[in-house]
Amino acid sequence: MTLGSVIPAPAEVVPSRSEPFRLTGDTVITASGAAVPVADQLAAALRPATGFPLPVRASGGNAVNLRLNDVVDPWMGDEGYRLEIRPEGVALRANRPAGLFAGFQTLRQLLPPAIEAVTVRHAEWAVPAGVIRDRPRFAYRGAMLDLARHFHPPADVKRYLDELSRLKINYLHLHLADDQGWRIEIDGWPRLTTVGGGPGTGVRGIGGGHLTQADYRDLVRYAAQRHITIVPEIDMPGHVNAAQVAYPELTCDGVAPRPRIDIRVGYSSLCTGKEVTYRFAEDVIRQLAAITPGPYLHLGGDEAMSTPHADYVAFEQRVLPLVAKYGKTASGWEEIAAAPAATNAVIQYWAVTRDKPAVAAAAGAGAKVIMSPANRTYLDMQYDLLTPGGLHWAGTIDLPAAYDWDPATWAHGVPPESVLGVEAPLWSETLRDYREVEFSAFPRMAAIAELGWSPRSAHDWVSFRDRLGRYGQGWVRRDVHFYRSPEVRWS
Ligand code: TNX
């Protein structure tokens, strides 16, 4: 085990020739103030396999010490950290708890993989000596889960959050409504979930359900404990069939469409000329803003093929500013770039082509961009044509394809300064249960996480492949159902 065999690759790794640090039955974890919650999480993570008491105290010897900097270190920012490992102890420093949490994820990967066991193991719990200084390349490192096409219950979303947080992912975007299902309770519009919360895609009748607002708040809290921010998405003006089945007044002719379980896109549209449309949109935006502490609220905006272009632009000009009215920054799929109001929004790039002049123009006018090119980041694309589940409209995406690109320079005309980060969406038309979610997400999610966190200078396929082989032992121990990409020697 070498210092630096970590995913995502740390920014700076300086191994030392000293003896490793050894976790023993006498080790204490020391912390005070705002560092204590992370110290508690670290202790809880290390106790099951070691069987050591690992008390969290204010001070002590043979210690893993977590401390917030007295003087802010500008290099570290909000999420960076410094981890120093000496034979006598481990010192983890950061400006903020998020940085300590990131350092904790690094430290746990430096221990033998048996640390992931849920019952006591006898191992030498050694951590190689040296210093790691680390911070993220991009502020936004995201994953998206589609709860609309198949609902995935909170327990599954939490398992996903657990895995994402280990990879230093800091945003989870939840796609909460689409043609086949509406998955979040909205006061005053009860039929959205009682009628719209059906089984989603597929003929097997599984995939129904919805989040109550209490469920959603609980997910927000759970994510926040792992330093992940939830971004809720309600897709509009297209992808709204489920809402229109529940509330026919949201169509232009007032006639309810039939419920849909197929996977076609582009056929539904809110009626942009009706005032009820904007009452509906504002109710949804206001309520989601109230239960979302994070900065972003995603309004979809993709594939509105049945909304005339002028109506689409007028609609976006009206609804994007509503997000600001309730104190949030709007985000949306790349099509929103057609609306001038998108210059104050975050635009999510999903094209297969590297040329999207409208996005480049919006970025030039001030919009920030999240990179999710479908042929690199879409976790619902098959690994190859033989892997089960998934689609291949954007091609197949094997692990090297997910890894070998640069979010900062991918989209022509979008300068690196405009790129807020990267996100890997997982659409769930074909994913019925959480095992299938895991199989599609892992290991590619690890590649996207490294693109989001690690400096370009650390980008190295051979190194990534080798580190991943080791990282996979954790997935095995945690019973994560991942795809054994043939490029990797899974040890
Ligand atoms: C395109 S990309 C969609 C989704 C589908 C996905 C399937 C985008 C913004 N919209 O509606 O679920 O492809 O891969």
CATH of the domain at 72: 3.30.379.10
CA of 394 to the centre of ligand 1 (A): 10
Do both 354 and 241 map to the same domain?
yes
Instruction: State residue 226 phi and psi, 5-degree precision.
Output: -105, 15
Q: Tokens for 237? A: 């003006």
145 near 159, Cβ under 8 Å? no
Please report the pLDDT score of residue 407 as a whole number. Answer: 98
Name which of 282, 168, 174, 283 is nearest 220 in CA terms.
174
Residue 161 covered by a domain: yes
Task: Give how far Cα 60 sits from Cα of 54, 128, 211, 372, Å.
Answer: 11, 21, 45, 46
Residue 363 burial by Cβ neighbours in a 10 Å radius (0-12, 13-18, 19+): buried
Considering the domain architecture, whether residues 183 and 316 belong to the same structural domain is answered as yes
Residues 6+ apart with CB under 8 A from 25: 52, 53
Tell which of 117, 134, 151 closes a domain: 134
Of 104, 134, 164, which closes a domain? 134
CATH number at residue 306: 3.20.20.80
Answer yes or no: is 231 within a domain: yes
Element (H, E) at 233: strand 229-233
Residues 268 and 166 in one domain: yes
Q: Please indicate whether residue 265, judged by its CB atom, sits closer than 6 Å to ligand 1.
A: yes
Q: Which of 89, 96, 69, 74 is nearest to 28 (CA)?
A: 89
**282 and 384 part of one domain:** yes
Asked if the structure places residue 490 within a domain, the reply is no
Q: How far is the CA of 169 from the centre of ligand 1 (A)?
A: 22
Pocket of ligand 1 contains residue 350 by CB under 6 Å: yes
Tell me, yes or no, whether 483 lies in a domain.
no
Residue 129 belongs to domain spanning? 12-134
Residue nearest to atom 11 of ligand 1 (CA): 265
Same domain, 392 and 297: yes
Distance 312 CA to ligand 1 centre (A): 18
Point out the ligand 1 atom lying closest to the alpha carbon of residue 393. 14
Q: What 3-state class would DSSP assign to 472? A: helix
Tokens linked to 250: 């949201």
3-state secondary structure of 303: coil
Instruction: Decide whether any atom of ligand 1 lies within 6 Å of the 303 Cβ.
Output: yes
* Whether residue 167 sits in one domain with residue 113: no
Residue 57 backbone phi and psi in degrees, to 5: -135, 170
Query: Does one domain contain both 117 and 169?
Result: no
SS3 279: helix
Please identify, by atom number, the ligand 1 atom nearest to the C-alpha of residue 178.
Answer: 11
Please say which residue of 82, 115, 134 terminates a domain.
Answer: 134
Identify whether 415 is preceded by a cis peptide bond (ω within 30 of 0): no
What pLDDT, on a 0 to 100 scale, did the predictor assign at position 45?
A: 98
Quote the pLDDT of residue 201: 86
Would 482 be classed as within a structural domain? Answer: no
Indicate if 230 and 329 belong to the same structural domain: yes
Query: DSSP letters along 150-212, please?
Result: S---HHHHHHHHHHHHHTT--EEEEE-EETTEE-B--TT-THHHHTT-S--SSSS------B-
Is there a domain that residue 5 lies in?
no
With respect to residue 476, please indicate whether it lies within any of the assigned structural domains. no
How many domains does one find in the chain? 2
The tokens for 18 are 């000293």
Catalytic residue among 12, 249, 303, 487: 303
User: Do 127 and 148 have their domain in common?
Assistant: no
Where do runs of H (alpha helix) occur along 226-326? 241-246, 275-291, 309-325
Q: Which amino acid is at 340?
A: P
What confidence score (pLDDT) does residue 203 get?
66
Instruction: List, run by run, the mean pLDDT of 10-residue segments along the chain (491 residues).
Output: 92 97 97 98 98 95 94 98 98 98 98 95 96 98 97 97 98 98 98 92 81 98 98 98 98 96 94 98 98 98 97 98 98 98 98 98 98 98 96 97 98 98 97 95 98 98 98 96 98 84
Cβ neighbors of 149 (< 8 A, separation 6 or more) are 178, 180, 181, 200, 201, 207, 263, 427, 428, 429, 431
Regarding whether 128 and 153 lie in a shared domain, the answer is no
- The pTM score is 0.98
Q: Which of 457, 486, 490 is nearest to 13 (CA)?
A: 457
| Number of Cβ atoms within 10 Å of the Cβ of 264 | 10
Is 46 domain-assigned? Answer: yes
438 is annotated as an active-site residue:
no
Query: Ligand 1, residues 180, 302, 379, 430: which to mutate, most atoms within 8 A of Cβ?
Result: 302
120 in the same domain as 193: no
Q: Does ligand 1 lie within 6 Å of residue 380's CB atom?
A: yes
Say whether both 108 and 256 belong to one domain: no
